[in-house]
Chains A and B, each alone.
Chain A
Amino acid sequence: MDGTLHAFLDRSMRRFPDRVAIDEPHGTTITYRGLGDLADRVRDRLRHIGVEPGDRVGVYMHKSIDSVASIFGILKCGAAYVPVDPEAPPARCAFTLNDCSVTAILTESRLETALRDELAQLGAAPRILVAPPTSDAADRSKGTALAAMLDAEDAIDRAPTAETVYPSPDDLGYILYTSGSTGKPKGVMLSHRAGTSYVDWCSSVFSPTEADVFSSHAPFHFDLSILDIYLPIKHGARLVLLGESLGKEPLALAQVIAEKRISMWYSVPSILSLLAQYGKLDRHDFGALRVVNFAGEVFPVPQFHKVRAAWPHPRYVNLFGPTETNVCTYYEVPAEVPADRTQSFPIGRSCTNVVCRVVSPDGTTVAPGEEGELVVTGAGVMQGYWNLPAINAQVFLVDDDGTRWYRTGDLVVEDPADGYLFHGRRDRMVKRRGYRIELGEIEAGLATHADVREVAVVAVADPSSGTRIKAFLSVHNGERRSIVQLKQFSATHLPRYMIPDEFGFVDELPRTSTDKIDYQALKAQV
């Protein structure tokens, strides 16, 4: 059983049955015993409706005790979980769930109707288990909404107790969907070992204990959630779930961090920047904070200075890596950073659960100091993309001995003192508020607008927001369209973090001599 993600919960359930495992925004908590029992009930129900080891099961819910229990219940079936963004357009969610052929989906009543409609259009008919509205389950002394659903199902047809399945560590544990350049998200398949080896590495670097209090800022379909969920649960610590919107409310977030005595923080830098700028941090005591991890995008150093001025005492660690490797390198920011430094922090050295090297386009290792692409192998690396064999054949560099190296697309230089320095991307992927975005996916979304003839999207660095995205459109009959309407259209066809900041109108997109869209010329106009 060791080597699986759910074994972490087994261990803490035995060692710390009465300690609080999860703390929800509105004050509801659940102990390790309670979480384990609830996950067992999910396992029993899923097995009863036909979920088999090796299946995929969707989790289409907001972050909550229920969604954590659902994840563990799915894992206990020997199945892989597929977390889906409850804030994304339902059509996109249905696509992802249908793409990996989920057998069942756990969801909430407020998301159910739109999901069923979209799945029906795709001809998909997985079993859907629906937790009742939160207001109906407001009396939490009776249990969570998920427990209420399980009670109701049991009243009709009792699910017998099923055995927990412990698959091989190399079996699929979860699939995280990321932006795809063709307009369709790609499913990154990660094994139990990929998750556990990363969590074990985190243990060695951050030395958590049951006394720690972790804050979960990222949604569960985001790879930051692997540390957020499994590291505290492995150590019997308390995980405080923060609502998806709290990261945008610095005043309220500051209050929660102080009141909950958060000791381990992990978020995208933009949340930290907003907190330092708007959170009025001098009003609270943040003495419990001991580690601040950040990942997902470049942290503008002037913004970092503001954060550290407010919180001088914790360790600050830059965790770097794509979803395909979770985190592959890390850099601990030194205690002293010159006040006039503006150069970005390094991405640092390899984590011990992976091996990194830097290669030229033909795959040969380059000398230290030369720019090349970062490639990664080892326990933390994905199995591949779900059902995309052609792309899988391209993204791995395979040695003569069969070792597979994932090509990250990140251009780096190895520095003897600081490890790897990030130099940019070799493709059109950008990071915005921690989300990775293939600009081609935005283009594909906007191209479905009836008035749009051609579209090109570019991203430029922005000192305050990190990344600014502008869409250039040429439209039928050449008349300029309403930006308000284009934003509204984007909001219904793209995740919110992909909505362009600006729209520009051109008669025709500029072309290079080889008739490709001239993105450099467009960038010069931003």
Chain B
Amino acid sequence: MSKSRNPRPGRFSGTMLSFAAGIVLAGALISCGGKGNESEAPAPAANPSGKPVDSATAGTVTGMIKLDGTAPKPKNINMAAEPNCAKEHSTPAQTEDVVPGDGGTLQNVVVYLKGDFSQYSFPPNSAPQQIDQKGCQYHPHVLALQTGEPLQVVNSDQTTHNIHPVPKDNREWNESQPPGAPPINQSFARPEVAIPVKCNVHPWMKAYIAVFDNPYYAVTGKDGSFTIKNVPPGTYTVTAWQESLGSQDQMVTVGPSESKTVTLTYKPNSGD
């Protein structure tokens, strides 16, 4: 009986599969290293050694964001999979993509000035801005703050959340927050409009945080209005940003101690 070699397709397939797996793993490890590795050094402020704005000559930009037409109907959120969330709502919670305000206006629109502020310095507020997880929704839905300004995340629910901003220009982070846990304190180092925030435990939860390196921003409330104070004289672009409808621009020139009013109008399918 001749001694014959067993056909070894196994070596072939085992080697092939192991080699392929090794290539895949090596490629992944080489290219891994996400935004968590970004430098923590904050971007420079508008001008740290700049002069403060002269309040004697500063002006104001006020205005309204209007909606020309009917807002898209919000969708109901199904929280049945999480009883601790469902019991907080006697009627189904709804999405907040486009929230109409009073009198044909829009809520939750970020309005900000674009211009040359390089000669001024704007130290951020030390009092934290707060975002609360209540009824398994974020409150407020849209928040604006300055670079370096503290953000405090609070969990008022009886369930665990994880707060996960997904920025493009800032450091990404993802922290869990069980019920009763202390507030999470964070800040953002770079301007960005706007950072989506989500909870991977409850996928319907969504918020936006807009970050600026100057204090010339506002978020419209129930009446759709905004007021931006202490604006140095000059020509600026007033930009409105809405998460679904996109951005709108308008130029404005603010004279010394002048107050200017700007109205921007969205159509339900308008925007960038």
State yes or no: do A and B come from one complex: no
Interface residues of A (CB under 8 A from B): none
